Structure formats: C-alpha cells, structure tokens
C-alpha cells in the first residue's frame, strides 16, 4: 500500500486539475483533453492512456449522474435507447482491439492513435459548427416520428460506443450535438443529464475491457482523480465569469491541431 501511494505522481494530479477546470469551464468532455495530454506530453502508451481515461471518466460521470438524477434532469428513455446501441458496439470493439493486439503486436496502438486524432477533429468541428449543423440537421429530424427518432438514437449510441471505446472521446461535444438535433424540444439540461447517465455504463464496460487487457495504470488513475475532481468543481464555479465563446473556440482550435498531429 505504501509503495502504491509513493507511485502517485503530482504532475498527473496537476494535469487532472487543469483538465478538470477546463471541463468545468467549457463542458467539453475530459477525454478530448486528457487522453492526448497523456500520450503527447507524458509519453503514456495509447492503450494505457485510453483505458485509464475511460475508468477516470466512469468515476466522474457517476458523480454527475447522481446530481442530475436527484434534480430530475435525466430522461431515462433516451439513456436506454443510447445504451441499446452503445453496449453491444463497445463489446464488439473491445473484442476487435484484443484480437488486433494479440495478432499484430503493437498494431492496436496505431489504430487507437489515428482514431483518437479523428475523434478530436470531429469534436473540434462540433464546437466550431454546432449551430450550423443543428440548422442543417433540423431539416431532416423535425418531421421524424418517435419510433424513427428512437432508432436513430440507438444508432448514435452504437457509433459513440465504438468511438469512445477506441479513443475515449465522443460523448461530450459530438454526442450532445446529435442529441440536440434529435430532441430539439427537450430542455438542454435533460439532454446533458441523459448523455452523462449513458456515459456511465459505456465507460465502465470499455474501461473494464481495457483493464482485462492490462491497459489501465491504477496509480495514474488515482493521481488524475486527485486533481480533476476539485478541478471540475473549481471550473464550474467560475464558468459564469469565463469568456465562454472565446475559450471554447480556442479549445476547438487546440483540439484540431492535436488531432492532426496524432493522425500525421
């Protein structure tokens, strides 16, 4: 136990504090920030970075889900529809990653790095062009029946399940943009709550799969949580005073540059 405590790294905790504060300020998912930071700045292997970040997200999303559930801002029907697609897709993606790693050595690291880069570019696009995308999607989604909306929500869950499992990115900006288009009449806070609640089983299952493959660094995970939990609270407290538009667009630009770096 003493050796485990000594293995905690204050630099990781400081990074967790920084990322947590940015998440609190902007609402952008922590995976969009934490995973590339671990890979590019600290040299953590892509598999370990994604696996550790998934369990890190699972713990933080549990807290968020509890708060939203108490406030009645979770639409469990939407959460269930998303999970119907994401859980099977997550399990299939884990099997594919395991087979790729087992058969071709470090090939899985390349798959994860490129997928992470693509996911970051999609997240940046969702930040930059959300309003335009919602106007365009409204032309197709406004006339959908509830049954059609349900099928599309499940398909969205499957897409997010695969993307998040392979990159730890996608639930935040990408998922919320799609949900806003599919459910334009619901209050945004209910969509946020539903998205966060859906993230819990998705990240726990995906993170658990990485743990079974040896892709989770437990001391790294605890170090990140030590910093990020107060960081999210701090960022949320000062969010109203932050220049949201400027900060989000600056963040989108950084994510786009990092995404391009990971791909090329």
Residue 104 has pLDDT above 90, yes or no: no
Residue with token string 């897409």: 159
% of the chain exceeding 90 in pLDDT: 33
pLDDT digits (tens, 9 = 90+) for 33-61: 888 989 988 999 999 999 999 998 888 78
Model confidence at 25, pLDDT cuts 50, 70, 90, reads: low
Residues with Cβ < 8 Å from 140, sequence gap 6 or more?
A: none
Residue 208 Cα to chain centre, angstroms: 15
Give a yes or no: residue 12 inside a domain. no
SS3 21: helix
Beta-carbon neighbour count of residue 130 at 10 Å? 17
Identify the pLDDT of residue 238: 65
Residue 132 Cα to chain centre, angstroms: 22
What's the CA gap between 51 and 166, in Å, rounded? 9
Residues with Cβ < 8 Å from 62, sequence gap 6 or more?
A: 200
Range of the structural domain that residue 136 is part of: 44-263
Which DSSP state fits 241? G
Give a yes or no: residue 35 inside a domain. no
Give a yes or no: residue 2 inside a domain. no
pTM: 0.86
Give a yes or no: residue 255 inside a domain. yes
Give a yes or no: residue 129 inside a domain. yes
Identify the pLDDT of residue 264: 75
Question: Rounded mean pLDDT of the chain?
Answer: 84
Half-sphere exposure in the Cβ direction for 134 (13 Å, CA): 17
Give a yes or no: residue 21 inside a domain. no
Mean predicted confidence (pLDDT) in 205-226: 93
Identify the pLDDT of residue 237: 63
What's the CA gap between 142 and 12, in Å, rounded? 45
Based on the number of CB atoms within 10 Å of its own CB, is 78 exposed (0-12), middle (13-18) or buried (19 or more)? buried
* Number of domains, the chain: 1
Give a yes or no: residue 252 inside a domain. yes
Residue 28 has pLDDT above 80, yes or no: no
Between the CA of residue 239 and those of 85, 122, 194, 232, 235, what are the distances in Å? 33, 24, 21, 10, 6
Beta-carbon neighbour count of residue 19 at 10 Å? 27
Give a yes or no: residue 127 inside a domain. yes
Model confidence at 242, pLDDT cuts 50, 70, 90, reads: low
- Greatest Cα pair distance, the chain, in angstroms, is 60
pLDDT digits (tens, 9 = 90+) for 66-103: 877 888 889 999 999 999 999 999 999 999 988 887 54
């Amino acid at each position: 136990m003493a050796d485990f405590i000594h293995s905690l790294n204050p630099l990781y905790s400081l990074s967790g504090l920084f990322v947590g504060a940015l998440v609190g300020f902007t609402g952008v998912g922590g995976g969009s920030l934490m995973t590339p930071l671990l890979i590019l700045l600290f040299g953590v292997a892509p598999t370990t970075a994604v696996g550790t970040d998934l369990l890190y997200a699972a713990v933080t999303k549990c807290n968020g889900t509890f708060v939203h559930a108490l406030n009645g801002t979770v639409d469990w029907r939407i959460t269930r529809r998303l999970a119907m697609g994401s859980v099977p897709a997550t399990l299939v993606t884990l099997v594919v990653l395991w087979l790729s790693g087992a058969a071709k050595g470090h090939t899985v690291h390349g798959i994860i790095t490129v997928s992470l880069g693509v996911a970051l570019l999609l997240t940046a696009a969702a930040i930059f062009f959300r309003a335009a995308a919602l106007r365009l999607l409204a032309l197709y989604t406004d006339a959908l029946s509830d049954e059609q909306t349900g099928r599309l929500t499940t398909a969205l869950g499957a897409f997010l399940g695969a993307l998040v499992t392979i990159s730890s990115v996608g639930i935040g900006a990408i998922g919320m943009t799609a949900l806003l288009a599919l459910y334009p009449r619901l209050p945004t806070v209910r969509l946020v709550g539903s998205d966060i609640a859906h993230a819990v089983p998705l990240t726990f299952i995906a993170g658990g799969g990485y743990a079974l493959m040896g892709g989770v660094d437990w001391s790294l995970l605890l170090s990140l949580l030590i910093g990020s939990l107060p960081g999210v609270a701090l960022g949320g407290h000062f969010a109203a005073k932050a220049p949201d538009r400027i900060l989000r667009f600056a963040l989108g630009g950084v994510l786009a540059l990092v995404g391009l770096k990971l791909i090329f």
